[in-house]
């Protein structure tokens, strides 16, 4: 396993991060513990969770904490082997302080997470969602407090855009507070909305740790043009999950699978390798239900894709249009 830098933190992480959103349901506790141990044995040293995770059975306002409790049990005697990330800010209860990024919410949520995880610190504490109701100065002052206390080793954000990362960096410079070191975004070769933000992350040494790199199973190769949706697949269990037409996606996936064949890779291996080839990528968060799925991701992380194939991929699943800065000077011939 070749480890990568987690931005400016100095932390080294495996290119595959074990995602735990499935812990609780459908991955029950005993299987989740086995899966966590197997991931560590495979060389994965990065594990991602959140205080709201409790599997597919979660509903808005439920207390969460299930995945953290399971991880706390799974990491007994193994805590120092992993870089542990958890999140704060998502709704994990009915009360007014059970959501958002106020000082009270952050301090209370961290103590609860530490108790569930059976640890006295987390390596990476992540702001789960932007909070438009709380000034960034307030949120960052709380992050600075728990950082100085040694309860977190670094902090990152999730679901934030580049301009928001810029605000975090500006305030860190202004007040001498810790800098944001990672950005967790939805990203795959089918979903490249954040592609133009990656250059900003490169320039400012912010590690990108994307989720949905297999696009909810679409990039596993199980869905085929002209064939019925497989029994037991996510699309079979939750038909409303996909909010855009399936047929055009299937055409893109068929063409992408042909490119994967040129690279001597399966579609999921290719999807992982493609994502890791993008700028600023540090580690891909992969949520799995079985060890076999995890092994496929690890194999994909070991692969490389020739440059000419990457160019062909851009023609199939193009990046978003990039506007030139309005006040940039035009190139002179």
Q: Is residue 59 part of a domain?
A: yes
Q: What is the pLDDT of residues 53-110, one digit of tens each?
A: 999 888 877 889 999 999 999 999 999 999 999 999 999 888 888 999 999 999 999 9
Q: What is the pLDDT of residues 280-300, one digit of tens each?
A: 999 999 999 999 999 999 999
Q: Is residue 320 part of a domain?
A: no
The per-residue pLDDT for 179 is 98
CATH number at residue 148: 3.20.20.100
Kindly report which listed range (26-35, 95-104, 138-147) carries the lowest average pLDDT score. 95-104
Q: What is the residue-wise DSSP string for 302-314?
A: H----HHHHHHHH
Helix 307-316 vs helix 246-262: crossing angle, to nearest 10: 170
pTM over 0.85: yes
Listed residue (303, 310, 309) closest to 278, CA to CA: 310
Q: Do residues 156 and 86 lie in contact, with contact meaning Cβ atoms separated by under 8 Å?
A: no
Look up 56 and say whether it is catalytic. no
Q: Is residue 252 part of a domain?
A: no
Q: Is residue 164 part of a domain?
A: yes
Please identify which of the residues 3, 23, 53, 223 carries the catalytic annotation: 53
Residue position matching structure tokens 């000419």: 308
* Res 333 pLDDT > 70: no
Q: Is residue 151 part of a domain?
A: yes
Q: Is residue 276 part of a domain?
A: yes
Domain limits at 210?
Answer: 4-217+267-305
The per-residue pLDDT for 237 is 63
Q: What is the pLDDT of residues 229-270, one digit of tens each?
A: 777 677 666 666 676 667 778 889 999 999 999 999 999 999
Q: How many residues does the chain have?
A: 333
Q: Is residue 242 part of a domain?
A: no
CA–centroid distance for 287 within its chain: 9
Kindly report which listed range (107-116, 164-173, 201-210, 317-326) carries the lowest average pLDDT score. 317-326
* Res 221 pLDDT > 50: yes
Residue position matching structure tokens 């504490």: 125
Q: Is residue 13 part of a domain?
A: yes
The per-residue pLDDT for 178 is 97
Pairing of strands 4-5, 12-13: antiparallel
- Split into its structural domains, the chain has a count of 1
């Amino acid at each position: 396993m070749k480890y990568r830098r987690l931005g400016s933190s100095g932390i080294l992480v495996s290119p595959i991060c074990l995602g735990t959103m499935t812990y609780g349901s459908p991955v029950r506790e005993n299987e989740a513990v086995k899966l966590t141990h197997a991931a560590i044995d495979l060389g994965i040293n990065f594990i991602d969770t959140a205080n709201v995770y409790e599997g597919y059975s979660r509903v808005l306002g439920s207390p969460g904490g299930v995945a953290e409790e399971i991880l706390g049990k799974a990491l007994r005697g193994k805590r120092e082997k992993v870089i542990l990330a958890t999140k704060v800010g998502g709704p994990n209860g009915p009360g007014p302080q059970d959501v958002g990024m106020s000082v009270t919410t952050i301090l209370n949520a961290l103590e609860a997470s530490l108790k569930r995880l059976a640890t006295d610190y987390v390596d990476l504490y992540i702001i789960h969602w932007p909070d438009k109701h709380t000034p960034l100065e307030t949120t960052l002052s709380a992050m600075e407090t728990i950082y100085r206390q040694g309860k977190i080793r670094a902090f990152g954000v999730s679901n934030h855009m580049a301009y928001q990362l810029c605000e975090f960096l500006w305030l860190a410079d202004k007040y001498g507070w810790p800098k944001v070191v990672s950005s967790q975004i939805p990203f795959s070769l089918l979903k490249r909305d954040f592609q133009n933000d990656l250059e900003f992350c490169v320039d400012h040494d912010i590690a990108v740790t994307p989720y949905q790199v297999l696009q909810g199973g679409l990039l596993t190769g199980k869905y085929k043009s002209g064939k019925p949706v497989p029994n037991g697949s996510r699309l079979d269990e939750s038909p409303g999950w996909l909010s855009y037409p399936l047929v055009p996606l299937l055409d893109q996936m068929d063409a992408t699978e042909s490119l994967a064949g040129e690279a001597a890779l399966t579609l999921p291996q290719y999807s992982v390798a493609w994502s890791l080839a993008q700028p600023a990528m540090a580690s891909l968060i992969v949520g799995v239900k079985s060890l076999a799925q995890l092994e496929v991701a690890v194999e994909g992380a070991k692969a490389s894709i020739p440059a000419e194939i990457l160019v062909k991929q851009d023609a199939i699943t193009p990046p978003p249009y990039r506007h030139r800065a309005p006040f940039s000077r035009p190139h002179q011939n």
